[in-house]
Structure 1
């Protein structure tokens, strides 16, 4: 076990700093309810200091060559990799997920920094015209200070997703991690400090106060937010006051569609992973499973017993497959959604067992739960649960499946299971989602744009061109090589040669 230090500070201008206020928050292990450490909570004044530090670092960092930025990002990736086990344990203790899943988060963080290190010299402007008379250029320039607000479900991965590309494109960062899981982010950034200019990346933990101060800040040039869609609306409105661009990764109510010609064994395994990985606490998790009526019974005959066999437990137990819910508020929300569905006529078709160990009695446990006899009009089929709850219904044909899948406010991911690739292409084109997985879980790999339609957000992350374009502004430069003189009598029509 890693020896977790008991007290954590802010990171501003290249070092640890005490908060301007006296607020502190206990970080609690969701599996046991026990305090892991205490983290100082930042204030609006701390955000001011962090933004000022990022602004001061921007000139140096933005002037750094792409080759040097790449070397620094590769060095950060190596630092994170060297502390792999430490970071995975910290993430498990504060988030609760099984350690192998936290390890996957850290691995992805390492790969993300390496990906954008390799991309620094591959994203550039263009020469629009280069003639003897003039040169026309399109160039990309970093925005400046990027304010980043991330949630608690993938702390190492979210930290890497935003910091890596912001740095790769020449920006500096102020990060506000979730109050439940700040330690992963703080520790990751600590590992970067002597690789970067002071102030290039700053971390201000805390709750609402630093989050609002950061997204409203007049000296922040861009805001990147991941979280609930209602909060995303507020972030977008506050950024609009400063006419700042925003990148929003919000919620999902994702559906996987299993057709009658699918490989059922593969589809069963994919649905389990897609629904219950990270305890279903992911915007990319599937919460709706649509089964063709001809294979409905056969699929459930294989699927439901597998759910009941899932091992639910604390993250440091190597046998655990599904961990706890992050906190009491989220537990209450999920349990309320289940109770409301059952009251409305849904049936609990399968449910895993919660752990019975005495030392886990203080944890927040919602075991993987499968609901049947659900109607598309029910709240459970329309509202994001953000937990290990999967609602299963049937469909008659392609049109029916697409209609059910699209009949929600969100549009993040969609899943298609079929052996007919023509059908897969046809249905994928009709799904109102930013990502589609065919014969695989519906989240996409590093290198493909991650993002959604509708209330699932705006902007993309985790690829090269679409993501890096989010973090730069475009400038047009036109240079006249001639000795021509200009006149108010200019008549463009007279110069026509056709």
Structure 2
């Protein structure tokens, strides 16, 4: 399915979202405005700022709905999920435009994301029946049965950077497993995520999907509630640590998908131009605000000069502006905090004496004061110990580190507290795989830093070290939301 061009600057009334609790929409006294990060005078909508009491009501509704939903068959869930996917696809244009306006992603990125979100609902169906089928083992004149059961109520907290796909990646497997859910999107980009969940709620039984938009109070209330049996959070490590401390009080099971500082190791036999093109496509996607994107590049000294030249030329071709304007390939940062963080990194880099190139061209520069815009940059002579190499920048700055031997590059790639994704670049597949096997990360991609369609479906998405706990996507994504229940059936003596 393709998305057609729409008049994206036509006047649009701001969306007014309400709480969704037990199948009913409710107003909330407190509200939060959502503004377009490219045009801050454009109020895209507003969301409720849920109170602890309202979160408690949502969790109670989920708890009431969970037993009946958990008793449905895999076939029933699969049919409902196909209807959800159809409904998302039928609204794809509107959802993609909404995503651009609230999130700042380029439209082609938002278009792919909404269709990817729809496909997730279909893909869980491919695994569901087998995973939910109990396994029986003969045991004397009795038998042993091992089966999977849902947790009951799952809390899902999703971030602002890729809200459509990340919402689907959480709630589709959680619901497929038979849980009821309470969703809290990020207040920085809540509208598209809420739309995806609203579509699901309109098709599933009342109370199976509940939405409580809001800020810190709503999130803390979800984490602290004893009826939440599993909590799935995507975001930053500091917040995850806080959640884990709170979850310890109730021994709530947690799933975390956190940050990454993904290395790209370039071997000495690559086609430099083709490699640079693909690395740039990953590193500057969503203005660099992606957990699994190239964050640092290791280049052999023999190729360094050519690689730098090609990189500068390729990044300089990026056009920055309102992603609803024709020809724009990179939008703004999503929020003021991210913009200030990246500006601070650039200022420190420029003060350090490193060779920093601020590149790209501005589209409609006279409007830049109305949004969170920043141009892409590369650091051509970064060193392993530099801040920009050692930390996750989560923005459009790419450091290049030159290495003298492959052992050094592998050691540097692993010298991080993160271990989400990584990539190795070489036309020699076996050689690349040998290097990939030594990288400390949950995922490694050869000759790209983006997954194929099969990879998106089958690879468990997650990381080592401080990049997370647990996995999303693939059959393992459903298993995160199931727990074992076993029987050992014996005869009376």
Which TM-score band applies after superposition, normalised by the shorter structure?
A: over 0.9
1:15 aligns with 2:4: no
Q: In the alignment, is residue 159 of structure 1 matched against residue 167 of structure 2?
A: yes
- Pairwise CA distance, 1:125: 5.2
Instruction: Tell me whether 333-342 or 124-133 shows the greater mean CA deviation.
Output: 124-133
Note the alpha carbon deviations across 1:168-219, whole angstroms, 9 max, x for none.
1101110110001111122222222331111111111111110111111111
| Equivalent pair of 2:66/2:208 in contact (CA under 8 Å) | yes
Aligned-partner SS, 2:458? coil
Q: Equivalent residue of 1:399, what SS? A: helix
- The reply on whether 1:52 has 2:73 as its aligned counterpart is no
Structure 1 CA distance for aligned equivalents of residues 202 and 364 of structure 2? 45
SS in 1 for 2:207: coil
Farther off after superposition, 441-450 or 251-260: 441-450
Q: Quick check: 301-310 or 351-360, which moved more? A: 351-360
Q: Measure, in 1, the Cα distance between the counterparts of 2:365 and 2:26.
A: 39
Separation (CA, whole Å) in 1 of partners of 2:73 and 2:254: 26
Task: Confirm or deny that 1:378 pairs with 2:386.
Answer: yes
Please name the residue that 2:377 is paired with: 369
User: Please, which of 442, 451, 474 is the counterpart of residue 434 of structure 1?
Assistant: 442
In the TM superposition, what are the counterparts of 1:34-433 in structure 2 within 5 Å? 34=41, 35-124=43-132, 126-127=134-135, 129-433=137-441
1:131 CA drift (Å): 4.3
| Whole-angstrom CA distance in 1 between matches of 2:403 and 2:358 | 21
Task: Report the Cα distance in structure 2 between the residues aligned to 1:78 and 1:356, rounded to whole angstroms.
Answer: 37
1:470 lines up with 2:477 in the alignment: no
Deviation per CA, 1:262-320, whole angstroms, max 9, x where unpaired? Answer: 12232111111110011110111111011111111111222211111111121212421
Computing the radius of gyration over CA atoms, which structure comes out larger, 1 or 2?
1
Whether the 8 Å contact between 1:354 and 1:366 is mirrored in structure 2 is no
1:217-266 C-alpha deviation (Å, 9 max, x unpaired): 11101000000011111112211211111110001111111111112232
TM-superposed CA distance for 1:365, in Å, is 1.0
Aligned CA distance change for structure 1 residues 98 and 261 (closer, same or farther; 3 Å): same
What stretches of structure 2 of length at least 5 have no aligned partner? 1-6
Q: Which moved more, 1:358-367 or 1:448-457?
A: 358-367
| SS of structure 2 residue aligned to 1:385 | coil
CA deviation after TM superposition for structure 1 residue 126, in Å: 4.8
Instruction: Give 1:29's match in structure 2, choosing from 28, 36, 56.
Output: 36
Normalised to the residue count of structure 1, the TM-score between the two structures is 0.93
Deviation by residue 1:343-365 (Cα, 9 ceiling, x = unmatched): 22322135112334434421111
RMSD over aligned Cα atoms: 1.5
The total of aligned residue pairs comes to: 480
Q: Distance in 2 between matches of 1:77 and 1:478?
A: 39
Helix, strand or coil at the partner of 1:123: helix
Paired residue for 1:452?
463
TM-score (norm 2): 0.94
The answer to whether the 8 A contact 1:128-1:138 is kept is yes
Q: 1:361 to 1:175 in 2, by over 3 A?
A: same
For residue 191 of structure 1, give the secondary structure of its aligned residue in structure 2.
Answer: helix
CA apart distance, 1:467: 1.4
- Per mean C-alpha deviation after superposition, the further-off stretch among 185-194 and 293-302 is 185-194
Secondary structure at 1:445's aligned position in 2?
helix
Paired residue secondary structure (2:44): strand
Contact 1:99 1:318 in 2 (8 A): no
CA contact (8 A) 2:201 2:210 kept: no
Give the 3 Å change call, closer, same or farther, for CA 358–66 of structure 1 in structure 2: same
**152-161 vs 119-128, greater mean Cα deviation:** 119-128
Runs of 5+ in structure 1 lacking a partner?
486-498
The alpha-carbon deviation at position 391 of structure 1 amounts to 0.5
